[in-house]
Structure 1
Amino acid sequence: MPARTALDGTPCWIDLTSSDTEVAKSFYTNVFGWQADTNDDPQYGGYAIFSKDGQPIAGLGPQQEGNPYGNVWTTYISSTDAAASASKAQASGGTIMMPSMQVGPQGSMAIVGDPAGAVVGIWQADQHHGFGLVGEAGAPVWHETLSKNYAVVLPFYTDVFG
């Protein structure tokens, strides 16, 4: 099956930062029937890919030292230019939490905070195009943020992601 390419400005990937990746692997493989494959390449820091029917569904990474946020899911929104989208987020009242960085040959990512404090990832695909399956049992079907300030964040998401 050819790689599914997400439309610019749409959710394309999710990943979980976990304080205990082995427990998370066991939980999600049992609940959803996902497979979990950890990349042994040190540059990926123990990152695992969950898959269903051989198609990528989500990522799982260990909580990094000094990161107070463990056990949290992040939704990534597709962009043709992660650095430009992060800059646009900052210009639209958001915060760049992690500047755009290359993730091996997979693509580029950035992490931003919206003006009300919600965190969202930005993904610029290269070899990794994101979800292989959507809209079916065991695959991502819905993404939302519950905002503390809807009136402020609605124009932010419109301005940054279209």
Structure 2
Amino acid sequence: MTALTHPAGTPTWFDLSTGKPEETKAFYSALFGWTFEDQGADYGHYHRVRKGGEEIAGFMAKSPDMAGMPSMWTVYFSSDDAQADADRIRELGGNVMVEPMQVHRMGHMLVATDPTGAAFGLWQPLDFHGYTVAGAHGAPAWQEVLTRDSSGARAFYTTLFGADSDQMPGGMTYYTLKKDDVETAGIMQMDDGHWPASVPPHWMTYFAVDDIQQAVKTAEASGGTVTVTPFDSPFGTIAVLADPDGATFSVIQLKR
């Protein structure tokens, strides 16, 4: 198997912050077959999520000062220079919420919001380079930002990441970001007919599943909810789920 690489400006990691760590671990273990490895007190008991020995994502219990914040998945993009990118984010109208910080010998991270309000992270690797498998059951499959200003988001991310973008044909406004002709992420325009005003701009993480109908059944049986029932797309069948603490994500049975 060819090792995955994550050039600057492409997705490299995903992590979940949750207020119900034990219920949530049981949920994802049942749904995807994930295992969780506690990194210890030096890392704030951050967990690395693996499947079959492959790196998938990260997992952490919310600290007391985060109690009022929703549980959520965060998408991290690879960076060659987190500090320079933090400055660039501000220049482009974004906001840096967590300043660049070194995580031992693993790498440097920051968390920011784009000018439309969607949160994302950057990761400048040292010894840790991100997820190691994609497209298999329980592994990352896609990521997209949902925003009420898709043209503004497009300008921000193409400039920040040095990416190209294409608009998909069809009735909805959807752009794909590309690095070196490889599609890396999507930008979707939120409309009032599908997203209530109470839903803020956000990044959506997709995980692959072998059987979408079974995934939906397992999610419901394990304490999750189905927020969007399975529907067909040009790329596969998709459903949107929420885990036991309300963090939303998508699953996709990819067309093979």
Question: TM-score, structure 1 length as denominator?
Answer: 0.94
**In structure 2, how many angstroms separate the alpha carbons of the residues matched to 1:43 and 1:99?**
19
Report the equivalent of 2:31.
31
Report the equivalent of 1:108.
108
* Mapped contact 1:105–1:126 kept (Cα < 8 A): yes
- Deviation (angstroms), 1:137: 1.8
**In structure 2, how many angstroms separate the alpha carbons of the residues matched to 1:132 and 1:105?**
18
Q: Structure 2: state its 5+ residue gaps.
A: 163-256
**In structure 2, how many angstroms separate the alpha carbons of the residues matched to 1:3 and 1:43?**
29
Report the equivalent of 1:119.
119
Q: Give the superposed CA RMSD.
A: 1.5
Report the equivalent of 1:48.
47
**In structure 1, how many angstroms separate the alpha carbons of the residues matched to 2:42 and 2:116?**
32
- Deviation (angstroms), 1:69: 2.1
User: More strand per residue: 1 or 2?
Assistant: 2
Kindly provide the amino acid, as one letter, of the partner of residue 140 in structure 1: P
Kindly provide the amino acid, as one letter, of the partner of residue 35 in structure 1: T
Residue-pair matches, total = 161
Report the equivalent of 1:148.
148
**In structure 2, how many angstroms separate the alpha carbons of the residues matched to 1:33 and 1:83?**
36
Report the equivalent of 1:19.
19
- Deviation (angstroms), 1:2: 8.9
* Mapped contact 1:4–1:129 kept (Cα < 8 A): no
Q: Structure 1: state its 5+ residue gaps.
A: none
Question: TM-score, structure 2 length as denominator?
Answer: 0.60
- Deviation (angstroms), 1:64: 2.1
Higher Cα radius of gyration:
2
**In structure 1, how many angstroms separate the alpha carbons of the residues matched to 2:35 and 2:151?**
40
Identical pairs, percent: 39
* Mapped contact 1:107–1:123 kept (Cα < 8 A): yes
Query: Larger relative CO (CA 8 A, sep 6+): 1 or 2?
Result: 1
